[in-house]
Structure 1
Amino acid sequence: MNKAIATKTAEPPAFHLPPEAQHADALARLLWRAHHYMRDNVRRALIEQSQDELTAVAAQAEVDTIYGIDTIAEHSLLEFLEQHQREAPPFLLVGEFETGEAIPFGAGAPQFRVLCDPIDGTRLLMYAKASGWILSGILPEKGNDSRLSDIIFSLQTEIPIPKYAYMDTLWAAAGSGAFRLRENVLTQQSAMMPLHADRSSDLRHSFISFVKLFPRGKKWVAAIEEDFLRDALAESANEPASVFEDQHLSTAGQIYALILGQCKLVVDIRPNFNQIWRSRTEPTVLCAHPYDLAGWLIAR
């Protein structure tokens, strides 16, 4: 079994960070290697561990459920960074980790903040339905003033389910565009692949999805969706299936589908409903967090 998941980690490419952020290059290279280390460990677990082990609830955090497969990814990340932290400028790791707090690495005051999601798409991956994604974004450390718009480097690494033959890594540096590397799981050969989002305004015969993944709020989102599609597709009202949807349970997977032109439009208004419900002290619905968008620079 180990032979089936043995990989030779591809060397980090030239990331072409902007001149004012060149000192972040070592951190980007460190994250590249950390992602590959995590990916290999999670792939091994998908093959060697039972579904019951991978799907067991390890913890119930305030913002999400932590499953067995999540702990494998998180422990792999922290182990790798602990061993190699001095290979990059000091940084603060921010995400949904067991400690509940941001984790400093390196010597001295953090120069950068790393927004990280060890697995986005956990539920799809642990049931071997579709790939999960490792996400990281580097931004200057500004404390509470840090914003997604400050990200200077994004990295998105696919964790394929065991039956997949290929896996992608995507990245982007501010001012240098976005890139995709595809690796063959069996031969370890790799090649650069194009990114081609569908920029046409015609919505017909394409995937249009309004995100409604969990029970709370489904009927309200569906009502807005139906009104939107009725107006947007008025000219093709007589076509029985002029658009279709895919409720893909991964923010990174949704963005990947948009980047590749597999989806035309994804609308996620869960945060808007949550604002209303909080004002009424009503239960909210699980929605995307900043670390789920650590790879947003790739899509921009």
Structure 2
Amino acid sequence: MDEAQDLVESVRAVHVRIRDAVIDAMVNSTSEEMRLGDGSGGGDTIYGIDRAGEAVLLEMLGMHLEKWLPVVVVAEGLPDIGVGPGTAVLPPGASPSDARFWVIVDPIDGTRGLMYGKRSAWILTGISPIFAGRTPSLRDIEVAVQTEIPHPKQTLADTLWAVRGEGATAIRTDLRTGISSPLPLTPSAADSIGHGFGQVARVFPGGRDVLAAIDDEVCLAVVGPGGPGKGVTFEDQYISTGGQLAELAFGHDRWTADLRPLLTPVLAKRGLPPPQCCHPYDICTALIAEEAGVLVVGPKGPLDHPLTLDDNVTWFGYANESIRALVEPALLAAITAYLGPP
């Protein structure tokens, strides 16, 4: 087994332990305990359910990545040890300059849907080599793994992974038996967005009127209004970037756009704070969707954000080149009309 595939297997083992810890916490804790929020740290608000994953994260990484230590780890909820917010080095006390890999993790992406029993969340991990003199970026990630955390009433869970240049793989595991079976990753081959799912993400208050207007402009420009009483496109507001990427990779969605960072000037004029945005740890598994054939880009081309806790990421995802050719011109025109040039 080569090093990259060995890393995949080790990260998958970490994810299983995190998944099991979170499911156990949901079974053995009250809903109120799981939903208790703390917004005092960097990154997203931390809820009680997040603590269940964070509690075992560093221990499991240290255990299963032992042969590759030291490594730099970036994740929400980590104490600032002087390397940067949400950044740690394993083993403790090691120097970042000696690290072999940069590991960025979101222990639970999709917390809100999971803690209310609405929808699965995902554990996300991206691994990049270390580069002298600079922080690795999303484009540098060579290995990515994402693992579904289902609500306890659900007995099946998916795991997706990719090594750059080697394609993407997925399995579905029966949590009752531990038996896994292959799962195809087949992005939509449709050449239209009609009668398919696609959306501008707008899951939090503040500027949703603008985002909805952009979404409407795109759909009207690409497929028109449809007939009376007819819905010609649909949307799915999944509060999980990893989940959105999985929906594209599985062929469930045809396009997605997360424009939240572009809202900041509009919100400032309204006297509102900047929005909660997608961060690099939320989209650190974009490599999986890309290796499956999905196009994941920013307004100006490939995503190149540093693997830090708080950089804001605007991204577009398209199931295939035909969908991109249809949607992107209308999307960029609508963004420019409502928010200015991206």
Task: State TM-score, norm by structure 1.
Answer: 0.86
Counterpart contact for 2:103–2:127, Cα < 8 Å: yes
Counterpart contact for 1:26–1:89, Cα < 8 Å: no
Amino acid at match of 1:136: T
C-alpha separation in 2, matches of 1:280 and 1:212: 17
Amino acid at match of 1:43: I
**Counterpart check, 1:245 vs 2:228:** no
Equivalences for residues 201-220 of structure 1 within 5 A: 201-220=191-210
Deviates more, 1:158-167 or 1:75-84: 75-84
Deviation for aligned residue 1:101: 3.4
C-alpha separation in 2, matches of 1:251 and 1:180: 18
Equivalences for residues 117-136 of structure 1 within 5 A: 117-136=106-125
Counterpart contact for 1:27–1:89, Cα < 8 Å: no
Aligned counterpart in structure 2 of residue 139 of structure 1, from 128, 148, 161: 128
C-alpha separation in 2, matches of 1:275 and 1:180: 40
SS at match of 1:42: helix
Deviation for aligned residue 1:230: 1.1
Deviation for aligned residue 1:147: 1.1
Deviates more, 1:90-99 or 1:68-77: 90-99
Counterpart contact for 2:238–2:244, Cα < 8 Å: yes
C-alpha separation in 2, matches of 1:282 and 1:244: 29
SS at match of 1:290: coil
Distance 1:210 1:185, change over 3 A: same
C-alpha separation in 1, matches of 2:39 and 2:198: 34
Question: Which residue of structure 2 aligns with residue 3 of structure 1?
Answer: none
Counterpart contact for 1:30–1:87, Cα < 8 Å: no
**Counterpart check, 1:291 vs 2:281:** yes
Q: What is the Cα-based RMSD across aligned positions, in Å?
A: 2.2
Deviation for aligned residue 1:152: 0.5
SS at match of 1:208: strand
Equivalences for residues 144-293 of structure 1 within 5 A: 144-234=134-224, 236=226, 238=228, 240-274=230-264, 283-293=273-283
Gaps of 5+ in 2: 80-84, 291-342
Deviation for aligned residue 1:236: 3.5
Distance 1:234 1:178, change over 3 A: same
Equivalences for residues 106-121 of structure 1 within 5 A: 106=91, 109-121=98-110
Deviation for aligned residue 1:222: 1.1
Counterpart contact for 1:26–1:87, Cα < 8 Å: no
Distance 1:277 1:144, change over 3 A: farther
SS at match of 1:96: coil
**Counterpart check, 1:37 vs 2:22:** no
SS at match of 1:60: coil
Deviation for aligned residue 1:98: 3.3
Gaps of 5+ in 1: 1-13, 17-21
* CA offset digits 1:191-229 (Å, max 9, x no partner): 111111102221111112111111111011111111111
C-alpha separation in 1, matches of 2:225 and 2:152: 43
Distance 1:281 1:140, change over 3 A: farther
Question: Which residue of structure 1 aligns with residue 89 of structure 2?
Answer: 104
C-alpha separation in 1, matches of 2:206 and 2:289: 28
Question: Which residue of structure 2 aligns with residue 19 of structure 1?
Answer: none
How many pairs does the alignment contain?
280
C-alpha separation in 2, matches of 1:145 and 1:86: 22
